[in-house]
Amino acid sequence: MYKYDPKSLKAEEFINHEEILETLKYADENKDNLELVDSLLDKAGQLKGLTHREASVLLACEDEQRVQRMYSLAEQIKKDFYGNRIVMFAPLYLSNYCVNGCVYCPYHLKNKHICRKKLTQEEIKNEVIALQDMGHKRLAIEAGEDPVNNPIEYILESIKTIYSIKHKNGAIRRVNVNIAATTVENYRKLKEAGIGTYILFQETYHKESYEKLHPTGPKHNYAYHTEAMDRAMEGGIDDVGLGVLFGLELYRYEFAGLLMHAEHLEAVHGVGPHTISVPRIKKADDIDPDVFDNGISDETFGKICALIRICVPYTGMIISTRESEEVRSKVIHYGVSQISGASKTSVGGYAEDSEPENSEQFDVSDQRTLDEVVNWLMRNDYIPSFCTACYREGRTGDRFMALCKNRQIQNCCHPNALMTLKEYLMDYASDDTREIGEKMIQKELLNIPNEKVRRICEEHLKDIENNKRDFRF
């Protein structure tokens, strides 16, 4: 039997099965202990974060009034830490060749009817131009695991291509990477290629289920997958993104595991995850989500989002277009900090006029254009931000966290959001979006506390009107 130790580098010790079972037991025993629940909410309200045990009590608590307090606290914390900005991004699927056997993913090796495709560098260029023409500045690249078709050299070359393309006023300024667990050496190469966050979803923290859900291929190795973030950190990547694929296992188990993973990173590397994603399993070619027994309701999904926000206040939270406009409208108030817009999950989906052949990873629920999403955010009083400044200014890992903790975000991220929104309005927005956006910028300029920063920001906004680009604090 393994012993729980958040500082251990062994998967089964820092994500310890017995500790999770004990946590769930503790949560069941205490979920109606409203005195404890209130004290945990008070602690969270002081932005101290909560441990996996404390957080699990809140997840188990069903007292309506307390649950409402979790939601309002999540919104409050998001506003205190991050303000009302929502960072925009899009996924870019490079290749769906894959040697793994993940039973929930249409890329699995045995799926013979999905159209396999790997973009050439020329095709990547066309995709990037299409993304730039929408207004995107930040991408998350996605690929199946296939050492022959998608070796690290292919990924690195693709990153280089993406950064090199400057179409009209467009540019991709941050490339995040979501590829399979790999070696320290390869992480070092990704770091040198200038990536932003390395994202890897755990899928499930439950080892036994993990092994069944990944019956074949390199991803079958639970420890290698679970320890990937430690190797990424060793390779010099200090912004890492965690996630669970909700629907595969019992959500309470996953939630405790996710927070234990965050605690482990903090304990060993002194910095927690940069982001947490909350994907839910979706219908896809050869995949019926109903065969997985652990699907979660929209309500539980919302509660998980709110609790992530209050338990790890320094971590960004990402919602993809797997979620519908309706669900996104709800959870946007629970502390989400990043959303994708106008996503295509097929390989080559952005440049092709008609829907490309069957190569999607999953069905997209939110089908709106980027302009529609930007417009919608502003109508809900959120500032869509196309900012990519932090990692370009070396504010990664603990330096980004310091910015958060010192409450300097409002003098840094806020003007950056306004300047990148201005670029979007000048270059890509519809008339209606531009009109709403201009008003928003004028209003939000007043929320930059430092007068000097505000003045510089105003000057840069004028520069952007005069066709200059890419200012940042």
Query: Shortest gap between Cβ of 348 and ligand SAM (angstroms)?
Result: 15
- Shortest approach of ligand SAM to residue 280 CB, angstroms? 7
Which of 100/410 has CB closer to ligand SAM? 100
Nearer to ligand SAM, 60 or 94 (CB): 94
CB nearer to ligand SAM: pick between 6 and 273: 273
The answer to whether 142 and 178 are in contact (CB under 8 A) is yes
Q: Quick one: which of 251, 375, 224 has its CA closest to 308?
A: 251
Q: Which is nearer to ligand SAM, 60 or 195 (CB)?
A: 195
Q: How far is the CB of 246 from ligand SAM (least distance, A)?
A: 9
Q: Which is nearer to ligand SAM, 4 or 201 (CB)?
A: 201
- Which 3 state secondary structure label does DSSP give 340? strand
- Using CA atoms, how far residue 211 sits from 3, 132, 334, in Å, is 21, 40, 33
CB of 61 to ligand SAM, least distance (A): 28
Euclidean distance between CA atoms 210 and 215, whole angstroms: 8
The CB-of-45 to ligand SAM minimum distance in angstroms stands at 32
Positions touching ligand SAM (CB under 6 A) are: 104-105, 142, 144-145, 178-180, 200-201, 203, 219, 245, 279, 281-282, 284, 287, 322, 361-362
Position 1, amino acid: M
User: In this complex, which beta carbon is closest to ligand SAM, that of residue 204 or of residue 337?
Assistant: 204
Between CA 392 and CA 195 the distance in angstroms is: 10
53/117 with CB nearer ligand SAM: 117
CA distance linking residue 236 with residue 187, whole number of Å: 7
The secondary structure of residue 11, as a DSSP letter, is H
As measured in angstroms, the least distance from the Cβ of 366 to ligand SAM is 13
Q: Which helix (H) or strand (E) holds 35?
A: helix 34-45
3-state SS class at 73? helix
Nearest to 445 by CA among 419, 470, 473: 419
Q: Which is nearer to ligand SAM, 87 or 281 (CB)?
A: 281
* Minimum distance of ligand SAM from residue 265's CB (angstroms): 18
The helix, strand and coil proportions of the chain, stated in percent and rounded to the nearest 5, come to 50, 10, 40
- Shortest reach from residue 199's CB to ligand SAM, in Å: 8
Comparison of 201 and 224: residue with beta carbon closer to ligand SAM = 201
User: Are the C-beta atoms of 302 and 331 separated by less than 8 Å?
Assistant: yes
Those residues whose C-beta lies under 8 Å from the C-beta of residue 104, and which sit 6 or more positions away, are 203, 213, 245, 247, 248, 281, 287, 289, 292
What CA–CA distances, in Å, run from 183 to 149, 159, 232?
18, 18, 8
* Smallest distance from ligand SAM to CB 65, Å: 34
Give residue 109's region: left, alpha or beta (phi > 0; psi -120 to 50): alpha
